[in-house]
Amino acid sequence: MSACHDVHLVLVLVFLNFGEYFAFSLDDYLQVLEKEVNIDFCRSMNRIIFDKTVDDDPETFAFVTKPELKLEVTPERGTCEREGHLGSDSFDNGKSG
């Protein structure tokens, strides 16, 4: 997830907890987030179509150099690091982090 996605997620979570103190609505943030997701989807589809077109007809597109594909390793399960949090051992022992 990009840093921009992280910011939107944090803003939505803050709004859910403190929404009555803000002059904007959750719908506003959801619309912005929806637009961002649509842009990412369109960008991905354009990349797939571009790559397929160039690969299917290399003679016509001999002058085209495809950008290098960067593969990111995505963990199966996401985590959030917190300072001072001791992990599940502290929870099991009844201690707070």
d(CA 71, CA 3): 17
pLDDT at 72: 84
The answer, yes or no, to whether residue 63 has pLDDT greater than 70, is: yes
d(CA 91, CA 23): 37
The answer, yes or no, to whether residue 2 has pLDDT greater than 80, is: no
C-beta contacts of 60-69 below 8 A and 24+ residues apart: none
pLDDT at 19: 57
- Percentage of the chain lying above the pLDDT 90 cut: 31
Does this model's pTM top 0.75? My answer is no
pLDDT at 44: 93
Query: What is the tally of helices (H) and strands (E) in the chain?
Result: 3, 0
